[in-house]
Structure 1
Amino acid sequence: MANEPSDNKLSDTNQSSNPTPNEKSNKPHPPLERSRFGGSQHKQHRQDDDAPVSRSDLSKAAEELLEHSTVYINWTILLLSSLVIIAFSVWVMVMPQTAQITMKSIVDWIATNLGWYYVLTMALVIGFVVWVACSKEGDVRLGPDDSRPQYKLGTWVAMLFAAGVGIDLLFFSVTGPVVQYLHPPSGDGVTAAALQDAVVWTMFHYGIAGWAVYALLGMAMGYFAYRWNMPLSIRAALYPLLGKRVRGSLGDGISIIALVGTVFGVATTMGIGVVLLNVGFSKIFGLEQGLTLQIALVIGAVVLTIAATTSGVDRGIRWISELNLWSALAMMLYILIAGQTAFLLNAFVENIGQFLVTLPSRMLQTFAYVPGSSEWMGGWTLFFWAFWLAWGPFVGVFLARISRGRTLREFVIAAITVPVFCDFIIVSFFGNSALYQVLQGNTAFAELAVQSPEQGWYALLEMFPGAIFLICLATFSGFLFYITSANSGAMVMSNFSASIPDPAQDGPKWLRIFWAVLTAVLTVAMLLAGGVLTMEYATLIFALPVTIIAYLVMASFFKALRIERAEREGKVLRRPSMAPTGGHVPERSWKQRLGRLLTYPSRREVSQYLERTVIPALDDIAVEFRNQGYEVERGNVTNATGREGPLLRVSMEDVLDFHYQVSMVEMPLPTFSGKMSIETDVYYRLEVFTEKGSGGYDLMGLTKPQLIDDVLERYEAHLQSIAQSALAH
């Protein structure tokens, strides 16, 4: 980083741009001017453990949360989480019958007494994420205001879909609709009403609710990581609510809950996956079905997971995600073309309509007036709600990792629409294909689908023309679902058990291997203790504490967005002509405006203007601030976006420092300009950058007094933003 001090620069050019309050208190610092809102400017004093109440407090989060500048292992989280998982695994393997009976009793109690709590939690999560997307804060980016997405839309959507969709979707896509048709939650089975709702119930369970949980945790963790330079973790997302307390035992406890829930969610998916793939590999390679083959598949998955996760997001997981999407698409097209095409398309349209019309009532449906409904709720709706909550931290971290630069609105809308629509296609095509066979009187298939879902799924595939090809394609697609979930899970588990300053980094390779192996041990333990049923029980139980995290994250994120709104509204009070980050656009004479429209400066011209006009203006202002007793930093630095330029930073006691930097930005030359150069097709702008990103306007051509006026206007708006934030709290 270049740092060439000017004559007016402070003697210590390497000092922190954000001194601690104790450091600041030793330097002269006059009180802030009286605010135009009436009364003196509010200073936001807080104790070390208090929750933040302003942007200045949030800006200190990175240094408060990070004790080390490099990746380090949080041994408390790692050891305690591992002990919980190992103890549970040993218990269910040594005493499988006792474990199953005990968990069944706990699940029955939860379904009877806390079903309403799970239902209400999911409804509130959906309402919250939809509110974020529809609010003015939906324009806030997961990163600085000038950040842009890292991945193309197609790649991003493929990774969204593959990370959040597991092989369990295939497992339940056949058995779910058949069970709801034969044994609906209310009313008689094998009726027209039950038939109309059969597929819709499975679409409901795999619909907006799960992806709303992913969107909530993903956007919260991504927002604090990329916009405020915090670690990519659950505890960082709770900083606005709990303050520095998230760094201690309280934060460790929250991380342990999220990590254990994640492990059980991934292990359940792996368990369901090997049960399903066990049948496919048996049919393709002639292997004997059973526990031995299932354990072999778990071991094989661990080996492939280790190989894939060590290659990182940009290589292994992205490649598998895209391949996963294409294979699933090929499988759906085959079923549509080779199956009952007209029936499937008609049914799909009707399923979508029924889902949309009945969604509000289903979201709050507890079957309070249906005797014995708690067993159905525990086995279906509550299990899936617990499943998504357990998966929430895991998928949320992964989605945040791939979504830097997206707006909150874009993130939420994409998460609850595109993958959900893909889920609906799979559920509707498989489910309606199965129901078609049942309606044709194939009772043997119906019984098989209810009693043994994995056998029923492959039995359906065998009814299509070219069955062996479809079975191979479906098994390959399911295996990719399986590996994608295992890959992403190992990476996220390692991140939860380590402190990682850079959100783009992952935990150490050995730690990812450790979690892949431990998850496999848990999977095998639950297979030995009763298979899928034991996994459902464990998921429903261990997801219960995760609901508390969901409420805490909503409260914390809402508070952070209130701070964003307070800053924006404080600047809007200044004048109607605003730059994108809230600053004003400097006024120019008509000749300056015309000259700006007709000229496209070269790099040399912009550099000369910086040296002759911008830097002297900033130096003069720095001198005057110092004369008034303020601590000022002046120099040439590189900002968070990687752009270099002269900086003026005014340190302000207990509130967010004033930051004004001018950086050169390369732009494509318009083809209509008439100034097209033979040598180049770009020109350069001088843009103002704050701690939030670019102001979006060009300083080229302004006189020195106009530049000084722009700095003062920005500074005045900064003071009013602080005052507005104080009034909001």
Structure 2
Amino acid sequence: MNKFTNLFWVAIWIGIVFVGWGVIFPENLNEVMMTLRNSVLDQFGWFYQLIVSLFFIVGIFIAMSKYGKIKLGDDDDTPEYSTATWFAMLFSAGMGVGLLFWGVSEPVAHYSNPPFGEPNTIKSANKGLEYTYLHWGFHAWGIYAIVGLGLAYYKFKKKLPGMMSATLYPLLGSRVNGPIGYVVDIISVFATLFGVTIALGIGASQINSGLNYLMGIPVNFPTQLGIMGITAILFIYSASSGLSKGIKYLSNANLILAVLLFFSFLFLGPTQFMLETFTSTFGSYVQNLPSMGLRFAPFTEEDNQWVKDWTIFYWAWFISWTPFVSTFIARVSKGRTVREFVTAVIIAPTIVCTLWFGVFGSAGLYFDLVQGMDVSGKSLETALFYVYDQLPLSGFLSIISLILIFTFFVTSGDSATFVLGMQTSNGSLNPPFFVKFSWGIIMTAIAAILMGTGGLDGLQAATIISGLPLSFILLGTVVGLFKSFSQELRD
């Protein structure tokens, strides 16, 4: 049994043991997860703030430097996918479900519970949007860009396995094939698992809420479990057909539906208000980016806890997603230059994400702050559908949103099973169906266990915990990249 066959079975058995723990001792699992979560937030929040800002700065530097001309592949390689399809695939894997879930609810949540200052004011409305941009903008995509760059470079330029351990080769040499590399890859696998489960959880909960709004289907865990089961079947089937069929077609469909929903919402809602609000708040976000990205409030316990509950949670979530999203982005980016890759991955999705939140979030704020409707009093899952009720063609918007949530849900799932298959098959670009099938089952089971024992808080706890050890690996990736790029230009 070689290393990578062994890696697959060890990781699978660890996953099975975790599921068994949740089934047999659910309260104990939830208690342990929450204790670890609080410890990480209290002791390492500052660390998350610093390294995420570092990744963004390093990404911009690399794109603008002499390293930008290096190609991710052989000199005569050309991109495998068109630019439009490439963008659709990386975007669907990265932020899809989150945009629908948080589009209205996060800015409104910050408006009623702001990072600082008085709630339910014009100032808190502006800050609500600015901090939402922070959470989904340059910093988040900077993480994916750096790690994806390392994976693509070592896979396509240096012909190393597409594994997280390979990104440490410049630092560890052949030792990446030993116990150290083994541990790195196991950590990456479970960071991916826990990072993706939160997307599955929020997707299932919002589909459930939408069905409740439209059809009166009860909002409860058994319904959400059924939704996860149905989507698991679909994303496993989609992943089995490979990138060029299922995932590619679903990603393009997601992009088309998202554009349709965005412009429908923009023109049916308070268009001028939304665009003016986006323009002013985006400008403030860019102006205050450094201070917002490093903000803590150690002298004010309530404000400091807000940073931990929101900003630090997001950084931990996105770090835990890096083996998943970055591996997937790297896989579809062969033939791109370093400059093209980093620029596209950081800037293009940030513009789309901030524009999305600027439109959807400002609409929620308009109906709450200007029209006096209690949008902020709605749950995170239902705020979107409540805003739709205030617009013409609300049924059409709700149906399109449910379809889009569902397709994003499936796309995230099939991309994750594909990446987990790569991570446990020596970086194979076409992992065996049995491997992808196994991870689809384990991933769905872990999402169900965490939802059943702790709800969304349980999913968040697993994400925050798994992100910490992975963050140290990512720092090694950054150092290794500079060493490799310098050697590349000297040769």
Q: For this structure pair, what is the TM-score category when the shorter chain's length is used for normalisation?
A: over 0.9
Counterpart of 1:497, as a letter, is T
Aligned-pair CA distance for 1:106: 2.4
Residue 361 of structure 1: aligned partner? 291
Residue 599 of structure 1: aligned partner? none
Aligned-pair CA distance for 1:147: 1.9
Q: Secondary structure at the match of 2:104?
A: helix
Residue 257 of structure 2: aligned partner? 327
Counterpart of 2:274, as a letter, is L
Residue 352 of structure 2: aligned partner? 422
Residues 98-137 of structure 1 correspond to what in structure 2 (within 5 A)?
Answer: 98-137=28-67
Residue 565 of structure 1: aligned partner? 489
Q: 1:480 is matched with which residue: 376, 394, 407?
A: 407
Residue 433 of structure 2: aligned partner? 509
Q: 1:211 is matched with which residue: 108, 127, 141?
A: 141
Whole-angstrom CA distance in 2 between matches of 1:189 and 1:408: 43
Gap runs ≥5 in structure 1: 1-67, 568-729
Residues 300-379 of structure 1 correspond to what in structure 2 (within 5 A)?
Answer: 300-379=230-309
Q: Retained in 2: the 8 A contact 1:134–1:409?
A: yes
Residue 416 of structure 2: aligned partner? 489
Aligned-pair CA distance for 1:443: 5.1
Q: How far does the alpha carbon of each residue in 1:530-564 deviate from its partner, in whole angstroms, 9 at most, with x for none?
A: 21111111111111111011111011111101101
Q: 2:479 is matched with which residue: 528, 551, 555?
A: 555
Percentage identity across paired residues of the two chains: 30
Residues 213/121 of structure 1: CA separation in 2 closer, same or farther (3 Å cut)? same
Q: 1:470 is matched with which residue: 394, 397, 406?
A: 397
Counterpart of 2:387, as a letter, is L
Whole-angstrom CA distance in 2 between matches of 1:151 and 1:523: 32
- In proportion to residue count, which structure has more helix? 2
Whole-angstrom CA distance in 1 between matches of 2:157 and 2:29: 45
Q: How far does the alpha carbon of each residue in 1:216-250 deviate from its partner, in whole angstroms, 9 at most, with x for none?
A: 11111111111111111112221111111101111
Q: How far does the alpha carbon of each residue in 1:146-205 deviate from its partner, in whole angstroms, 9 at most, with x for none?
A: 222121111111112112113122212222111211111222212332122111111110
Aligned-pair CA distance for 1:318: 0.8
Aligned-pair CA distance for 1:343: 0.3
Aligned-pair CA distance for 1:507: 1.2
Counterpart of 2:403, as a letter, is F
Q: How far does the alpha carbon of each residue in 1:257-278 deviate from its partner, in whole angstroms, 9 at most, with x for none?
A: 0000000011111011100011
Q: 1:276 is matched with which residue: 206, 209, 219?
A: 206
Counterpart of 2:383, as a letter, is G
Q: Retained in 2: the 8 A contact 1:93–1:529?
A: no
Q: Retained in 1: the 8 A contact 2:170–2:483?
A: yes
Whole-angstrom CA distance in 2 between matches of 1:169 and 1:295: 22
Residue 255 of structure 1: aligned partner? 185
Q: 2:109 is matched with which residue: 172, 179, 187?
A: 179
Aligned-pair CA distance for 1:415: 0.4
Q: How far does the alpha carbon of each residue in 1:658-678 deviate from its partner, in whole angstroms, 9 at most, with x for none?
A: xxxxxxxxxxxxxxxxxxxxx
Whole-angstrom CA distance in 2 between matches of 1:550 and 1:271: 26
TM-score by length of 2: 0.96
Counterpart of 2:15, as a letter, is I
Q: In the alignment, does 2:467 pair up with 1:540? A: no
Aligned-pair CA distance for 1:493: 0.3
Aligned-pair CA distance for 1:79: 3.1
Aligned-pair CA distance for 1:441: 5.2
Residue 395 of structure 1: aligned partner? 325
Q: How far does the alpha carbon of each residue in 1:570-611 deviate from its partner, in whole angstroms, 9 at most, with x for none?
A: xxxxxxxxxxxxxxxxxxxxxxxxxxxxxxxxxxxxxxxxxx
Whole-angstrom CA distance in 1 between matches of 2:377 and 2:212: 21
Whole-angstrom CA distance in 2 between matches of 1:351 and 1:314: 39
Whole-angstrom CA distance in 2 between matches of 1:438 and 1:194: 12
Q: Retained in 1: the 8 A contact 2:143–2:319?
A: yes
Residue 385 of structure 1: aligned partner? 315
Counterpart of 1:530, as a letter, is G
Q: In the alignment, does 2:229 pair up with 1:299? A: yes
Counterpart of 2:136, as a letter, is Y
- In proportion to residue count, which structure has more strand? 1
Q: Retained in 1: the 8 A contact 2:210–2:382?
A: no
Q: Secondary structure at the match of 2:129?
A: helix
Aligned-pair CA distance for 1:417: 1.1
Counterpart of 1:349, as a letter, is T
Q: Secondary structure at the match of 1:74?
A: helix
Q: Retained in 2: the 8 A contact 1:486–1:516?
A: yes
Aligned-pair CA distance for 1:406: 0.4
Counterpart of 2:78, as a letter, is R
Aligned-pair CA distance for 1:128: 1.3
By relative contact order (CA 8 Å, sep 6+), the higher-ranking structure is 2
Gap runs ≥5 in structure 2: none
Aligned-pair CA distance for 1:110: 2.0
Counterpart of 1:247, as a letter, is N
Whole-angstrom CA distance in 1 between matches of 2:181 and 2:392: 55
Q: In the alignment, does 2:428 pair up with 1:523? A: no
Counterpart of 2:30, as a letter, is Q
Whole-angstrom CA distance in 1 between matches of 2:303 and 2:21: 30
Q: Retained in 2: the 8 A contact 1:186–1:370?
A: no
Aligned-pair CA distance for 1:376: 1.5
Q: Secondary structure at the match of 2:117?
A: coil
Q: How far does the alpha carbon of each residue in 1:316-345 deviate from its partner, in whole angstroms, 9 at most, with x for none?
A: 111111110110111011111100011011
TM-score by length of 1: 0.65
Q: 2:338 is matched with which residue: 381, 385, 408?
A: 408
Aligned-pair CA distance for 1:285: 4.5
Whole-angstrom CA distance in 2 between matches of 1:143 and 1:286: 52
Whole-angstrom CA distance in 2 between matches of 1:339 and 1:142: 43
Aligned-pair CA distance for 1:104: 2.6
Q: Pick which of 439-448 and 239-248 moved more.
A: 439-448
Counterpart of 1:494, as a letter, is G
Q: Secondary structure at the match of 1:458?
A: helix
